[in-house]
Amino acid sequence: MYLWLTLLHAFGIIATQAAPTATGFSKLCKDITLTGSWLVANCPDNNGASIQSSVYLPSKISNSDGNLVWSVDGQYQGTCITCSITSDGILHCTCWKAQGHTRDATINLEEHIAVYNGHLLSDLKGTPQPPSSSSPISMPSDLSWTFNYGDTSTYTPGSSLSALGATEAPGCTDYTVVEHGNPQPCLTERVPFSSTVDYIAFGGGKMTAAGGAWDVKVYDNLDCTGTPLGTITEFGTCKVFEKTALALQVLPKWNADV
């Protein structure tokens, strides 16, 4: 008996946990659109309830000499224009080639994006695990956001942040980042025109977003690891941090695979 069970486990016949079921989105989902660089659709979950979810395509696709190919953090949108999506899940773009010319490029999004219990998710990094619950926040019509840095200084990696001194009440007008719907898992800013590898440190910041559906955190390291230094929940107001920050994280609050 035990030998038989051992053989069953060895050949994968007994699974300790069933893998999530993937379903093609083009025939299952409704309202499939390309919003900026986001694939968006309304898809039914396992109970039949409709869920709006999205996938940030630049983190999955790149432009390889005028061809759209699957690539982690590919950032195709920087060298491709006039993109659209067809009802069968094909992304069409005009992409620049190395020689300076453009060509029409396509990629079948269903090769690596599917529906998992109502959520659009990519398997580019392995089989995804759908969230246990759906976000109550809808994707806003205006995805743009702006972050204004305040009380800025220069930080050299390896040096002590405490050497920069205590943060002061900033005007949040020193430096500005403008994004048109792009998430930032960990944004750091290099000091421009510097002969060394230095970064902008900041003691305060102001987040502005018309849609408001962004989760904004700051970190006192360059990798956005560990406990955040602070969270910005009140948009449009200049906030002073307890300590000097080095990195900014801006992620969507709606159902999104970034």
Task: Render pLDDT for 117-130 as a digit per residue (tens, 0 to 9).
Answer: 999 999 999 999 99
Beta strands in the chain (DSSP E): 30-35, 38-44, 50-56, 61-64, 67-70, 80-85, 90-96, 102-108, 113-116, 119-122, 144-155, 175-180, 184-187, 199-209, 214-219, 230-232, 239-245, 247-252, 256-257
| Region 137-150 average pLDDT | 95
Q: Which residue has the tokens 């690891």?
A: 225
Radius of gyration of the chain (CA): 22
197: three-class secondary structure by DSSP: coil
Lowest-confidence pick of 69-73, 151-155, 217-221: 151-155
Distances (CA, A) of 59 to 37, 71, 177, 258: 10, 8, 19, 7
Query: Binning pLDDT at 50, 70 and 90, where does residue 211 land?
Result: confident
| Region 20-31 average pLDDT | 94
What is d(CA 136, CA 210) in angstroms, rounded to the nearest whole number?
Answer: 18
Most confident of 13-17, 141-145, 208-212: 141-145
Rounded to two decimals, the pTM is 0.88
What is the DSSP code (8-state) at residue 18? P
What is d(CA 220, CA 157) in angstroms, rounded to the nearest whole number?
Answer: 12
What is d(CA 78, CA 62) in angstroms, rounded to the nearest whole number?
Answer: 9
What is the DSSP code (8-state) at residue 157? T
Domains assigned to the chain: 25-122 (2.30.60.10), 144-253 (no CATH)
Cβ proximity of 72 and 124 under 8 Å = yes
- Counting Cβ atoms within 10 Å, is residue 37 exposed (0-12), middle (13-18) or buried (19+)? buried
The predicted pLDDT at position 195 comes to 74
Sheet containing strand 80-85, edge to edge, reads 80-85, 90-96, 102-108
2 pLDDT more than 80: no
Query: Binning pLDDT at 50, 70 and 90, where does residue 169 land?
Result: low
What is d(CA 16, CA 14) in angstroms, rounded to the nearest whole number?
Answer: 7
210 pLDDT more than 90: no
